[in-house]
């Protein structure tokens, strides 16, 4: 499976989806101009990955900030992960960022995927 490796920018997150090395991570800031268009390749990749997933999938979110449009797409990503057996989510948040911690808590209540919350 091809690797998605997008360098983050001021308004887009860094994204690594690498099945062979078991790295699945979205980090940085997410406020792309066209959120649906930006995340479409990620959702498509996850749909293909779900057909033959690794036995364990640990998906890491280490976001500093995301806008409302991104939150919908993050939920779409989590919904895809929900269908993949053996998936867990690591939700990182800065120890002073109650909003990001709370956002992870809200997402964890909306999907049937185990979340592990980590302050840094």
What six digits make up the tokens of 49?
């990955």
pLDDT (mean) for 65-71: 97
Q: Where does the pLDDT of residue 100 fall: very low under 50, low under 70, confident under 90, or very high at 90 and above?
A: very high
**How far apart are the C-alpha atoms of 16 and 31, rounded to whole Å?**
17
Can you give the pLDDT at residue 39? 98
The pTM assigned to this predicted structure is 0.96
Per-residue model confidence as pLDDT tens digits over 17-54: 999 999 999 999 999 999 999 999 999 999 999 999 99
* Extents of the domains making up the chain: 28-40+55-120
Q: Where does the pLDDT of residue 96 fall: very low under 50, low under 70, confident under 90, or very high at 90 and above?
A: very high
**How far apart are the C-alpha atoms of 117 and 46, rounded to whole Å?**
22
What six digits make up the tokens of 80?
């895809």
């Amino acid at each position: 499976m091809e690797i998605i490796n997008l360098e983050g920018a001021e308004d887009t997150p860094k994204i690594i989806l690498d099945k062979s090395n078991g790295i699945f991570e979205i980090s940085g800031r997410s406020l792309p101009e066209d959120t649906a268009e930006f995340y479409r390749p990620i959702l498509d990749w996850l749909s293909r990955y779900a057909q033959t997933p690794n036995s364990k999938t640990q998906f890491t979110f280490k976001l500093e900030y995301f806008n409302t449009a991104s939150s919908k797409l993050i939920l779409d990503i989590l919904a895809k992960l929900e269908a993949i057996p053996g998936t867990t989510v690591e939700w990182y948040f800065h120890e002073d960022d109650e909003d990001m911690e709370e956002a992870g808590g809200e997402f964890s209540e909306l999907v049937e995927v185990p979340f592990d919350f980590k302050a840094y």
